[in-house]
Every structure is written in C-alpha cells, then in structure tokens.
Amino acid sequence: MLEQMLRRGPGQTIEFISRPEATLLAETMVAFANTDGGTILLGVNPQGRVIDYLTDEDVEGELVRAMVMCRPPVVTSWEQYPLPGGVVVALKVARSPELHALADGRVLIRAGAANKPPSGEVIRHLAATKSSGDFEGEPVAGATLVDLDKSVLDEYLRLRQERGAPPPRGSLQDHLVDIGAMLEDGTPTVAGMLLFGKQPQVFLPQSGIIFVKFHGKDARGRDGLAGYGRRVEISGPLARMVERAWNLATEEMQVEAVVNGLRRHEVPEYPPFAVREALVNAVCHRDYRMSGRRVEIRMYSDRLEVISPGGLPGYITLDNIVEEHFSRNPRLVAGLFQWGYIEELGLGIDRMIEEMLESGHTAPDFEAKPYSFTVRLHNLRERRPVGQRWPTNMNERQIRAMGYLEQTGRITNREYRQLCPDVNAETLRLDLVDLVDKGLLLKIGDKKGTYYILK
C-alpha cells in the first residue's frame, strides 16, 4: 500500500511533506478532514523519494502544534515505515463529520494535489453535509407530553420488552428523558416527536413521505403532462410511515409466478429486504434540519428510487458506504430498532446489495449530492450465461474459488482455506483482495462475519 502511494504521488488523498512543519501539516489536515480524508507521508520529497530519518520527537512536536491550529481538532493516527534511505511516517486523516477551520479562520478543502480555500457556495454545501449540532435532541417549540401518542408509546414499550430489554427506569417520562425523546421540563425533542408524536408533521412539516407511481420510465407523461398514476402523501410517526410506505410499494410491485417442480411460488419485482432497507434508511438517516423537502419514493416501470434529503452523513462517502457506518440520528435508529425495522445495526447496505444480486438484479445505484442521497433499485434481472469466461489473469486458486462461488453464491476465508489446504492463509486472503480489486467479487460484512459474493 505504501509503495503504491509513493508511485502514485501527491493527489486528492495523498500528500508528501519532506519535513514536519506545523503550519503545512495543519493546512493539509484541515483540507483532508473537510473533503475525502487522506494520508500525509512525512520524510518524502515531492518526487516520492525517501530523504530523511524521522524520529518520534520530530513528528510529535510538530503534530501537537498543528493540532492546536485546527478548529475543532482533527483526529489523526500515524505509523512508521523503515525504508531504504530513511523512515516514512504515514499520517492518516479521516473525512470528518464536522467542518474544520484553521485558527486564523481559513477553511480549506483538498482539490487535486493542492489545499485551496473553497467558494462561499462550497462552504454552504460542506455545512449541509457535516454535523452541526445534535438536531434530533433539540426541543420542539410549543410541544408538550400531550402531543405524544399513547398507543404508539405503549406499542414501543411492548416491543422493547419482547426484545428482552430491561424494564424502563422510573416513570414513562423518566424513560423518555433517558432515550433522548424528552427534556427534563417535559418538552418533546425532535427525536421524540418523530418517533411518538400524534401529528409530527404539524411541528416538522418536512418529516413526511411522498410516494409516486409513474406509468413509464420517465416522470413526464404524454403531451408534457405529469406521468404518474398514483400519488400519496404519508404522515404520522416514523414507524407508521415506514409501514404505510412499505404497503404502498408492495401493492404497486409486479409479482412473477415461478414454478419449481410441483410447487408454485411468487417472486416480487424487488427483494423485500432491499426495499425495506432503502425506506428505513431514508427516514432514519435523512437530515431533518432541511425544511421544505420530504423523503420521496418514486416507482417507475424499470426502477424504484428512494430519495432522502441531506447529503451523506459524517465521514461516509460512496467509496466507503459498504464498510463504514455513521448515523446522523442515533436516537431514531435506536427507536426503529425496537420496532424491528432495523435488525442488524450497520449491516443493512451489505445485505441490500447481496439480496439484489442473489435475486438476479444489478447492484443498487447510490447517488450522493450535497443536499440529497438516492438509492436506486433496478428491476431488470440478469442471468450469467452458462460457461462464462473469467479473466485470464487469475491464478489456479482464484479460478477454483470462482467456480465454488458459481455453485454456492458466496465464499468465506475459511471455505477458501478448505479448498486450498496447503496454501498459507495470508496468501489466500490476498487472493480474495485481488479479486475484489479486479471488480469480480464484492466483500460483505466485517471481521469474522466477512464473506464474498460475485459482483
């Protein structure tokens, strides 16, 4: 990995700095944190040549001074790599959920191989996609305990108990305070109103959902008129809206009858889990600070689109959306977990992709914009031709793994070791990494739960 960065040279996520210097370090750290994250290689000249033997003291002193210059501080980690000619220090900066500036007030972003001040419009975009306070924990002006729905609260408590959660502490109001749904003075928070409110949209009009079923592949119909056949506005607390949206999507889905032997079963147009996950993610991860726009579900003849207001939260990007997890509204996520809409925290995107692929569909499309995020599910089923040829630049072990995947649909590291018992485990792990890099496999899960499927 280090050798690849040295060969690639400075760019959007890589910077070379010969000697640690606090001001340049701070500028680059802020730029990386505000953009896509990156790695700063210390002890390397602009041509990628290792030129110095850096010590811990060299790095730590300047890094501490650089941290003081960042508002708020930028989280970093670093490692040393002894190489011929010197020691390289790799300083890693993650994309931050916050907007960072320097002590002198400058905001910087990474543009190519340079740290540049953004325009006012870009700064506004950054502010919209970064965290700016705990909005779901803010009080709802004018709301009281009377505005919460007792039947919804009773259902929540019953489901919570069925999941084996310990009994709530004290009174119902004490419990609502504990979970961030209410303040000590009895005022419901944004999270409390969205989860348990009688009419949340009275206080938060942007919190509803719009469902639209179009006749064809486009929103515009004949003669330039609206091309939809059904339009429904959904309101209520989040759990009720998810249920209503799911029912609408199910009603409008095409169903295919498949006969397997003597048995006939129905196959829906889209895998149910993938649809449910897209709906739940939209309502629990959207940016509720953005007024004037609701979650939109658009059903076309060839695809289903779920559009969530607000850009990707925190440090999440399209590149790391499968591996990394970040919740803009953790209280809403915890609440919907009690309703059973979120079964495995942090694994929904992985399984959504897997369900689509295993059903013969293409993988979902994810489109991220500064003020919206779209999940797009296509209903076209693809079947791999019998005897498809795989790329020739694979070793014998990888060809054996691909054959196993065609038969079983998935493979784990342990199963690969069983296929190749005489090969070192690290070699087999690198084989699978190489197949992911070639675009042939998709990695699902993390650590011991990791497995691979055909992409």
Dump strand ranges (E) for 35-75: 38-42, 70-71
The CA-based diameter of the chain, rounded to the nearest angstrom, is 75
| pLDDT of 132 over the 60 cut | no
Query: Of the ranges 52-61, 65-74, 311-320, 340-349, which is most confident?
Result: 65-74
Q: Sort 207 into a burial class: Cβ within 10 Å, 0-12 / 13-18 / 19+.
A: buried
Q: Specify if 386 maps to a domain.
A: no
* Pair 437, 292 in one domain: no
DSSP state of 189: B
Q: Specify if 388 maps to a domain.
A: no
Please name the residues in contact with 436: beta carbons below 8 A apart, sequence gap of 6 or more. Answer: 442, 443, 452
Distance CA 181, CA 186 (A): 10
Mean pLDDT of the chain: 85
* Pair 91, 160 in one domain: no
* Pair 327, 261 in one domain: yes
* Pair 406, 365 in one domain: no
pLDDT grade for 384, boundaries at 50, 70 and 90? very low
Which CATH number characterizes residue 125's domain?
Answer: 3.30.950.30
* Pair 233, 369 in one domain: yes
Instruction: Find where tokens 């690639």 sit.
Output: 8
pLDDT grade for 344, boundaries at 50, 70 and 90? low
Which CATH number characterizes residue 414's domain?
Answer: 1.10.10.10
- State the pLDDT at residue 386: 41
Range of the domain at 418: 396-454
| pLDDT of 158 over the 90 cut | yes
Which residue, 136, 133, 131, 104, is CA-closest to 34?
131
Q: Specify if 77 maps to a domain.
A: yes
Determine the 3-state secondary structure of 452 from DSSP: strand
Structure tokens at 348: 């929904």
pLDDT grade for 210, boundaries at 50, 70 and 90? very high
pLDDT grade for 387, boundaries at 50, 70 and 90? very low
* Pair 359, 404 in one domain: no
* Pair 170, 256 in one domain: no
One-letter amino acid of 19:
R
pLDDT (tens digit per residue) in 390-427: 665 788 788 888 888 877 778 998 899 888 888 888 88
* Pair 213, 362 in one domain: yes
pLDDT grade for 363, boundaries at 50, 70 and 90? confident
* Pair 274, 357 in one domain: yes
- State the pLDDT at residue 314: 65
Distance CA 255, CA 275 (A): 14
Domain-ending residue, one of 344, 378, 412:
378
Q: Specify if 384 maps to a domain.
A: no
Which residue, 293, 240, 436, 268, is CA-closest to 355?
268
DSSP state of 96: P
Structure tokens at 14: 């890589």
Average pLDDT in the 73-91 region? 86
- State the pLDDT at residue 265: 66
Q: Are 440 and 402 in contact (CB under 8 A)?
A: yes
Between 176 and 229, whose confidence is greater?
A: 176
pLDDT grade for 75, boundaries at 50, 70 and 90? confident
Between 302 and 321, whose confidence is greater?
A: 302
Q: Are 168 and 162 in contact (CB under 8 A)?
A: no
DSSP state of 46: T
Domain-ending residue, one of 350, 378, 406:
378
Q: Are 258 and 267 in contact (CB under 8 A)?
A: yes
pLDDT grade for 211, boundaries at 50, 70 and 90? very high
Determine the 3-state secondary structure of 17 from DSSP: strand
- State the pLDDT at residue 217: 87
* Pair 100, 168 in one domain: no
Q: Which of 72-76, 79-83, 103-107, 217-221 shows the lowest per-residue confidence on average (mean pLDDT)?
A: 217-221
* Pair 363, 224 in one domain: yes
Domain-ending residue, one of 326, 345, 378:
378
Which residue, 445, 390, 438, is CA-closest to 414?
445
User: 164-186 burial by CB neighbour count: b if 16+ within 10 A, else e?
Assistant: eeeeeeeeeeebbbebbbbbeee
Average pLDDT in the 170-177 region? 92
Q: Specify if 91 maps to a domain.
A: yes
Q: Specify if 383 maps to a domain.
A: no
DSSP state of 364: P
Q: Specify if 260 maps to a domain.
A: yes
Total number of domains constituting the chain: 4
376: enclosing H helix or E strand: strand 372-378
Residues found in the chain? 455
Distance CA 140, CA 198 (A): 13
One-letter amino acid of 113:
A
Which CATH number characterizes residue 248's domain?
Answer: 3.30.565.60
377: enclosing H helix or E strand: strand 372-378
Distance CA 46, CA 388 (A): 45
- State the pLDDT at residue 398: 87
**Alpha helix (H) ranges present in 70-135?**
120-129
Pairing of strands 372-378, 303-309: antiparallel
Query: Of the ranges 3-17, 42-56, 176-190, 281-295, which is most confident?
Result: 176-190
One-letter amino acid of 106:
R
Q: Which residues pair with 42 in a beta bridge?
A: 17, 89
Q: Residues of the chain with pLDDT > 90: what percent?
A: 40
Between 162 and 257, whose confidence is greater?
A: 162
pTM: 0.62
Q: Specify if 385 maps to a domain.
A: no
- State the pLDDT at residue 385: 46
pLDDT grade for 133, boundaries at 50, 70 and 90? low
Average pLDDT in the 324-349 region? 80
- State the pLDDT at residue 262: 56
Q: What is the Cα 197 distance to its own chain's centre?
A: 27
- The dihedrals phi and psi of 137, each to the nearest 5 degrees, come to -95, 0
* Pair 195, 305 in one domain: no
- State the pLDDT at residue 312: 80
